[in-house]
Structure 1
């Protein structure tokens, strides 16, 4: 049992998994057969020894009462975090059938938990002292600076000169990109099909040289759009127009309103500081999912302030092949402070001081109709024209088929939102359909120009959040 006296659900455990393979492997370890010496405490520690196929057995300990989120250790050599043994142990623990009895932890588990908490307290104290001495902190704000580390500027004059030199390089890169786009459109989009991906990759490399990783990322997306299926010329022209708009926004940033200028700086790849005031709330953990490319794993965590009614996004990063360390269980709430980053909408936030471990909560986010969700996305585009989607909770909707695809219709059947094609190919669709059973449910997800991507759902009556990732 946790400190709040409520055991986690299997969905909350599986939401911690770094990938589908880990979820599948954890399911095979969620029985008593592979485990021995298992136990738990009402303070939030779970432990056990798992038979291993390689160098096992593996001692596994999970601390679910850590204020920064669940942490774990395991003797296995896996690079995934949490590993399948930690996930399998938690799944066994969630069963509540006596398979993981309460008791006193063995010495090896107690040593790790005690050491882990002492290290966390020492690190928090050192960080507070260091921040006060250093003064200004600049936090990594985009995927272009994916380490998530914090750099401290001790010489403001030197920092300003570095920023000016980088701005000059980005300006040169944006000017060159404008010329390349003009040449592409002058020659006709049919030529884009013939040039192949190499031309786009070479252009992206030029943007990397100009220290504009945001521009480089968008150029690579253009390369993958050409010859990518029906109506690709329309989509390529639309994306070229958005890239042109971003270029022009950077070249004319001094004439833009401050929030829009901050959005442009972020979109081209400049880092920013979470300069908004710290806001303490009980933050409901709405959803967590990862996106992976050849260089980076990006984890997105959506939070909802149960008192403020604000929706916030946390981003964390891991090198290719490694999951980010920030892990928060969907459906619980976190008593913590958040500070927002600059830019239109101010959705992106930095996680500050945490006052307690994640805890169960009965509150759900407020919902809107499908038509209101579309209106919300339209308004958000005024602040950020490059926005792919906005977070939205739909109230009283039913998943219904629409030809070869699916949509979420409101209870009256008058309005509906199409689901994104990618979600239609996921197992999460069938979990959503089964949860609904033809009855209206509440669904949180991302609403954008490609449709609606469900991430979490709640049943019509009382019940826990169900992750759809």
Structure 2
């Protein structure tokens, strides 16, 4: 496919899977057996028909050149995006020209879907260029709404301060006896106050009591950070503008990506999902080849459904991103894309483990509530450390421990296998709990290997 340069590798395809079950099921469909009429075009689409349990095969098509990441269409009843058939088709395409030949003319059923997508995209560009025709909202009404919400958040923060004071006055031991219900009630009060960020941190507090040795210390630390955030909100008028913007974001007020668009070749470093009972959050890390900047894209899906935005790990896209306000913030919004994702020989520069820890410490000055920072470690070796693991510098006597969540992921063993005792380059998140590896590269050459 000429716009893609070369076909993707299997790891890049499987990184798009919404969950482990889809990854396994898609891998089984990555062989030619169940497929017929498979093909691909120079415009960035792949299609095929997969034999299922019914009399009619499932018609599957993927638009790789879509501006917001691959788009999928399948006649199967699955509500996952991509479904196992789309993953299997892409794995088949990644295998080469024999199973999925290129430069083909799509069949009618695929052509109709492609034409519809292209027309909707063109209509949207035309509408964006010409404006929607409706004037801006009443600024005075918007100001009043913002003031009412700020008053509710202030009331919630004031109430939360009182509850924290009651907790400390009664002693931390009482927190274990009270159970989770007390924290859930407090979190619900913060939701009523339209302070979703405060509600999330309160729920995290509820999981600490009785969570293992040293839980009172962890609870006190988190209470202190929550108190700091409360006070930051209540005294926001006296804060520097960037820190005040960070406080507003941490409390849960919405913000828009109003930074100037930055065009670059953005390498997709990692993509992973976290989920709770109400929401699935997808994090996508990007590295700008020319700017050297690291950016975080966030997208959301309702409970049980994967977010729509998906980008293949290890590929790069020529695109614009705009940053969100706030001190030390790396979150950005994806803007216009000028070409589909394609393989490029780009690797982010790496640092030592000591420099990574120092970078996190510096970031805390701008955002004290920051759990971790994105860091690329250069020439590190995964090494056992008792019952745990660490990443040790190959050229210095220093190391970073892996976080508890990283030690339980299958990606750890992929990292160990990739290293084989030799130094590797690893991208991940470095924070107070340690380092979470998300992607790695062999020291000499090769594409990024997803670890999440």
Q: 1:328 aligns with which of 308, 311, 318?
A: 311
Q: 1:220 aligns with which of 203, 207, 214?
A: 203
**In 2: Cα distance, 1:233 partner to 1:156 partner:** 47
**Alpha-carbon contact 1:2-1:64 (below 8 Å) kept:** no
Q: Which moved more, 1:380-389 or 1:273-282?
A: 273-282
Partner of 2:46: 46
**Alpha-carbon contact 1:394-1:444 (below 8 Å) kept:** yes
The offset of 1:2, in angstroms, is: 4.6
**In 2: Cα distance, 1:2 partner to 1:468 partner:** 29
How many equivalent residue pairs? 451
**Alpha-carbon contact 2:36-2:48 (below 8 Å) kept:** yes
After superposition, the Cα gap between the structure-2 partners of 1:285 and 1:450, relative to the gap in structure 1 and judged at 3 Å, is same
Q: 1:35-68: per-residue Cα shift (whole Å, max 9, x none)? A: 1111122332211111123575210011112233
* Structure 2: gaps spanning 5 or more residues: none
Partner of 1:78: 78
Q: 1:306-359: per-residue Cα shift (whole Å, max 9, x none)? A: 111111111111111111111111111111111111101131111111111111
Give the TM-score of the pair, scaled to structure 1: 0.94
Partner of 1:182: 165
Q: Which runs of structure 2 are paired with 1:61-72 in the superposition (5 Å)?
A: 61-72=61-72
**In 2: Cα distance, 1:254 partner to 1:131 partner:** 36
The offset of 1:97, in angstroms, is: 6.0
**In 2: Cα distance, 1:79 partner to 1:4 partner:** 28
SS of aligned partner of 2:43: coil
The offset of 1:111, in angstroms, is: 1.6
Q: Which runs of structure 2 are paired with 1:182-221 in the superposition (5 Å)?
A: 182-221=165-204
Partner of 1:370: 353
Whether 1:123 aligns to 2:124 is yes
SS of aligned partner of 2:31: coil
**Alpha-carbon contact 2:4-2:340 (below 8 Å) kept:** no
**In 1: Cα distance, 2:398 partner to 2:19 partner:** 34
The offset of 1:264, in angstroms, is: 0.4
Q: Which moved more, 1:211-220 or 1:345-354?
A: 345-354
The offset of 1:134, in angstroms, is: 4.5
Q: 2:426 aligns with which of 443, 452, 460?
A: 443
SS of aligned partner of 2:237: helix
**In 2: Cα distance, 1:21 partner to 1:114 partner:** 32
Q: 1:287 aligns with which of 247, 256, 270?
A: 270
SS of aligned partner of 2:150: helix
**In 1: Cα distance, 2:318 partner to 2:302 partner:** 29
Q: 1:213-239: per-residue Cα shift (whole Å, max 9, x none)? A: 100010001001111112111111111
Q: 1:276-330: per-residue Cα shift (whole Å, max 9, x none)? A: 1111111111111111010001111111111111111111111111111111111
**In 2: Cα distance, 1:43 partner to 1:383 partner:** 44
After superposition, the Cα gap between the structure-2 partners of 1:450 and 1:51, relative to the gap in structure 1 and judged at 3 Å, is same
Whether 1:314 aligns to 2:297 is yes
The offset of 1:388, in angstroms, is: 0.4
Partner of 1:300: 283
Q: 1:140-173: per-residue Cα shift (whole Å, max 9, x none)? A: xxxxxxxxxxxxxx11001001101111111111
Partner of 1:27: 27
Q: 1:60-81: per-residue Cα shift (whole Å, max 9, x none)? A: 0111122332111000111110
**In 1: Cα distance, 2:334 partner to 2:297 partner:** 7
After superposition, the Cα gap between the structure-2 partners of 1:325 and 1:134, relative to the gap in structure 1 and judged at 3 Å, is farther
**Alpha-carbon contact 2:428-2:437 (below 8 Å) kept:** yes
After superposition, the Cα gap between the structure-2 partners of 1:132 and 1:361, relative to the gap in structure 1 and judged at 3 Å, is farther
CA RMSD, 1 decimal: 1.3
Whether 1:238 aligns to 2:239 is no
**In 2: Cα distance, 1:268 partner to 1:54 partner:** 51
**Alpha-carbon contact 1:67-1:358 (below 8 Å) kept:** no
**Alpha-carbon contact 1:282-1:333 (below 8 Å) kept:** yes
**In 1: Cα distance, 2:36 partner to 2:312 partner:** 26
Partner of 2:3: 3
**In 1: Cα distance, 2:396 partner to 2:405 partner:** 24
**In 1: Cα distance, 2:423 partner to 2:80 partner:** 37
Q: 1:71-115: per-residue Cα shift (whole Å, max 9, x none)? A: 110001111101110001101111126111233221111221122
Q: Which moved more, 1:348-357 or 1:102-111?
A: 102-111
Q: Which moved more, 1:385-394 or 1:334-343?
A: 334-343
**Alpha-carbon contact 2:67-2:336 (below 8 Å) kept:** no
The offset of 1:125, in angstroms, is: 2.1
Give the TM-score of the pair, scaled to structure 2: 0.97
**In 1: Cα distance, 2:163 partner to 2:258 partner:** 36
Partner of 2:96: 96
SS of aligned partner of 1:297: strand
Whether 1:106 aligns to 2:80 is no
